[in-house]
Structure formats: structure tokens, C-alpha cells
Amino acid sequence: MSCSCCHHDEDEKDEKAACAACADEEDEEDDDGEEPAVLTRRIIAAAVLLIVAVIVQRLTSLPLWAQLLLFLPSYVVSGGSVIAEAAESVAHGHPFDEDFLMSIATIGALLIGFVPGGEPQFAEAVFVMLFFQVGELFEGIAEGNSKRSIKELLDIRPDTANVERNGQITTVDPNTVQVGEVILVRPGEKIPLDGTVIEGTSSLDARAITGESVPRSVTTGQDAFSGCVNLSGVLRLRVSKGFGESTASTIIDLVKNAGSNKSYSEKFIKRFARVYTPIVVYLAIAVAVLPPLASGDFAGTFATWLLRALTFLVVSCPCALVLSVPLTFFGGIGSASKYGILVKGSNYLEALAKTQTVVFDKTGTLTKGVFKVTTVHPSRLSEEQLLHLAAHVEHNSTHPIAAALRDAYPSGNDGCTVTDVTEEAGRGVLATVNGHRVAVGNDRLMDEVGAIWEGCHTAVGTIVHVAVDGEYVGHIHISDEVKDDAREAISSIKAEGVRRCVMLTGDRKAAAAGVARDLGLDEYHAELLPAGKVEQVERLLSEREGGATLAFVGDGINDAPVLARADVGIAMGAMGSDAAIEAADVVLMDDKPSKIAVAVRIARRTIRIACQNIVFAIAVKIAILCLAVVGLAPMWLAVFGDVGVMVLCVLNSTRVLRQ
């Protein structure tokens, strides 16, 4: 096992390391199960051989070459794999990695006793290599824990599906099931593919998707998503998405690819390592050669300065940084995933940690988005006729308000002819119904068609006006309900240090003002077209201070332009929505805005732990490097400066998993 932390192909290696949990589960089980055990046995064997060698050395007066042979077995057992990795790196033209540095330093320590004026360092050389392997063991255990944490999330896609074919239930690979086929899901089984329930009632454990422990009830006509566990009744589902497009597959692909979007901290550490490591190698050579040359007694002082140079090499490798910082971000993404928060990359996690302004869409984000017709105020028609016209005009619209109108007048097949349907964003819909031009929308649409509309001061909600051939015929009041945890979400977000919470909506000012007042928002802007939302976000972006970022929270479909423009786009309630996952940088798999505060908290803790590792590792290494140059750093201190710091930083990184 080798980190190869200073290799020039480290981008590729880091991505492979970060996503190893997702690549091949069987291989991963082998790596996580066997390699630490093998390494542990090797460390124990090398330690026993080292103790025996030290005892024999103390009890006998062996010549120098015999002492070397005495310590070689323990050195080979502890460092054979490291030397092999170093040789491979050199063969590929990339010598500046940790294996190479450790090999040169320890081989030099073994041979320094043969240099005139040098003292034997056999036990020290083996000790350095032995503790280097101990550090590798700790790294492997910590990385394995992080991988298993991610694997628990990714273990949501079953290997089989029970499909109905020719009147028989056949167990097949889910990848072979076609859209439209019917699958059977028994109690205790995971749902293999997204589908609509056509028979049965049950409770579903959606914890792997949403992070919520409370089961969800489903019945005939409702959607059920892959990755959920069927807890009670038998369900028959008609498949709505292929295996590769299912919710579980989409989530798995998203987490797999999260490692490709590196944070600034990770990129900085990589650039730092590429420049830093060759420099310290050349500095070590200078420490070994230049002072003896300057002293005028090269032969007499070379051994002293060579030992300092070897100590310099041991402590110089930036492994603690190159390992711990990506591991911290990887753990942060995994920790967020446990709560149903999917972050597309560590760069977005870093941006989320710097959020000072959160901008919300209203409908479906802060409110439930489930509209109901509450009152009907006709002017020239009956209530039924007014609803009849509005429902026909909105028949093909996907807007939640249109769904409310259709629900209020479900008799769509009454012989009416609807043609020339035109939808105007942010205004409403126009259509020709039985030869009459009908406009259904807000007051701006009424002004556009020349209708003199009437206000409704008693209603708190959305007002839908209706005009026929330019004449106003009445309005319909539709209300939405604020989500149960919306107030908690705003207060929690502010408790995390976010300074500004803003709501943008296309709804009328009275409805927006009521929601903003109830939730304690800092400001709101109503009656906005999609372009108006982008303009408001642009204004808020221009008002940012320093490195602060702006996050926009929306449904991920209608708000795609704003999601793309914000520093961090957060899609709300995106379970089963491919468009939401595609548009956003962070995806909340359930419908709870309170998860935004959780995401910010995890992001900030992740950044805090990464910064702790960076500051601690650099400070300790610089201090020990300076001491090594002046001869005040013994080899054991160099071991702490490399292996000890690496172990402490890696262990600190694992704290991010315990949110």
C-alpha cells in the first residue's frame, strides 16, 4: 500500500482513491479486508525481527558488515514493498514521491556507518521504515472507513428484479427490464427501478435516498423510487424509467463523479506538493554536500551533514497534506449524503461553506406547492362556468396553479374545443375555447388583453384572473401552504452565520409579503418574471463582500437559469427529478428546506478540519526541517514530522464523518 502522494499523475490517482468505494465492490472488499491485515502482520514480524537484532547487537561485538546483515531481515520485511514502489516510480520517470524519499533516507541511514566519521544507524533506519508502515496502516484504516461510509449510501441498488412476463414472475437483472413492464416488490426487498404503483399499499423506507428515518406510505397511482425498501405490503409497479436512469443509479453516478470537481484547497495542495517536493530533495542534497565543502574538511564532516540531510528527507514529504485534505472533503461529501444531501464536488462544498446570502424561490421551496381553489368570484358568469373556462385553458400546463384549477373542475371531456394555446412566462395562459379568446393569469396579462380587472383585498394567496374576448369575467383565489419546517429552516440558516435570506417569486406582492413576514425573511421581491429573478440574483451577487458566496434554492426545473448563475445552486425536493439533479450543484433529495442549514453546517465543518490539517502539518514540518538543518532533530523526531503528523491529520479528517 502506497500513497504515492507526490506523483505527477496524482490527479488521476486521487480520483481513483476517492472513488474506489464506487468502482468495484468486490475489489474494494478485498482491499479493505485483506490489505490492512497483511500490513499488520508485516509490521508485527518486522518489529519482532528488529527487537531480536537490537538484543543480539547489544550482547555481541559483531563487525559492522555483520550488524548490517543482522538488521537487513527486519528492514526488508518492513520496507520491501516501499522500495519496490519507489523503483517503479523511478522507472516511470516520476521519482519524487514518498516511497522514493523514504527509500533514499533509510538506505542512507543503513550505509552511513560505513562513511568515514559516520555512526551506525541500523536500528534507526528500520525504525523509520517500520513507523512509515504504521502510518500507511492508519491511512488505510481511515480511508477504508470513509469508503465504507460512502458504500453504505451506494448499496441502494439491488442486483435483481422480479418481473412479470407471460404470466410468470421471473427474477432477472434490473438492467434487462424495459420501461412499461410490471415488477413485483415483496416486503423487505429494495425497489430496483422507478415506477408507478398499480396494485398494493405499503410503507417505504426512503432513508438511503432522503436521509429521513420516517417511512413513506404509497398506494395505487403513486410513484415509488428505486433504492427505497418495501416494509410491509406486496407492490406491483409499472416501470417508468430504465435501470440506468433510475433514481438510485442517478444518485450513485452523482456520488461517483463528485471526486472530479476539486476544491481550491485540494488544487492548492497538489500544486504545492509538485513544487515543494523536488525543492526539498535538492535542498537535502545541498545540506549534505555544501557545508562539508565550505568547512574545508569534507571527509571529516560529510557524515554529520549526510545524517542531517537524511533526516531532512524523512520529514520533508507533504504526505499529511496530500492525503488528509482530499480525505476530509471526501468524508464531507459522504457525511452530507447520509442526510440525503448530494454535493456534486468538493468545490461546491467549499463554496457552500462561504455562503452569506441564501436566495429562495417561494413555490415548492418555502411553500408546499400544493395549491387548492379556496374561493371563486365570478363577475359575468357562474362559478362553474368560470372554473370551466380556467380549467380548459390550463389543461396542458404543468404549473401547480394549473393543476389546482383542473382539480377544481375535473370534467375535461365535455365536448369543448380548445385551440391556439399560448403560455406567457410570468403572466398566464391564453387559449381559444369554443371560438372565444380566453385569458387566464395575473393582472399583467389582464392589462395586456385590455381587461379591467378587480382586486381582492381579503385574500392572502394567489389570484387568477379570467377574461373572455378582452372582457373581465371574474377571478379565482388559490392558496398555498408554507412548509412545516420553513420557519425552522430560516432560523437555523441564520444560526449558521448566514447574514441574508431573500425570497424571489413571480407571485403577487400580498402573497409574498405574507410568507416573508411569517418566516422572518430579510427581504423579498414579488411579481418577477424568470429574467427578473436573474436580475435580482445579479444585484445580490454584486453586493457580496470579500469571498462570500450566494446560494439559490429552487425546484431545479423552472429556476434553471438562476440555479446556474448562483455560486451554489441547490435543488429542493429532487427525488426522481433528473432535471433538478442536472441543473443544481447541491441536491436535497427530500422536500425539507431545513436541510439547507445541515448542508452549510457540514460544509463549514469540513473546511474547518481541512484548514486545521493544513496549518498543523505545515507548521510542524517547517519547524522540524529547520531543526534538522542545524542538527537538533534526531531521526525519531523526523519520523514524527512525517508519519506522526500524517496519522494525526488523517485521524482528524475522519472526524468529518461524525457529524
Residues forming the active site: 361
d(CA 563, CA 111): 62
Q: How far apart are CA 336 and CA 348, in angstroms?
A: 12
Q: How far is CA 89 from the centre of its chain?
A: 32
Quote the DSSP letter at residue 367. Answer: B
Find out whether 221 and 201 touch, Cβ atoms under 8 Å: no
Beta carbons of 403 and 395 less than 8 angstroms apart: no
Report the alpha-carbon distance of residue 22 to residue 156 in Å, rounded: 12
Containing 376, the helix (H) or strand (E) segment is: strand 372-378
**C-alpha span between 287 and 291 (Å, rounded):** 6
Q: How many CB atoms lie within 10 A of CB 507?
A: 24
C-alpha cell at 387: 372554473
Q: Is the dihedral of CA 86, 89, 95, 97 positive or negative?
A: negative
Cell of 575: 427525488
Residue 204: other Cβ atoms inside 10 A: 23
In Å, how far are 489, 491, 499, 512, 562 from 495, measured between CA atoms?
10, 6, 9, 23, 25
Q: What are phi and psi of 187, to 5 degrees?
A: -60, 135
DSSP E strand stretches across 510-606: 523-525, 549-554, 568-571, 586-588
Backbone angles phi, psi at 510, to 5 degrees: -60, -45
Strand 436-441 relative to strand 462-468: parallel, antiparallel, unpaired? antiparallel
Alpha-carbon dihedral angle through residues 80, 85, 91, 93, given to the nearest 10 degrees: -140
- How far the first Cα of the chain sits from its last, in Å, is 29
Residue with the three cell numbers 462570500: 548
Q: Cβ of 495: how many Cβ atoms within 10 Å?
A: 11
Measured at the alpha carbon of residue 414, what is the angle toward residues 413 and 416, in degrees to the nearest 5? 100
d(CA 58, CA 573): 70
Residue with cell 374576448: 469
CA distance 417 to 234: 43
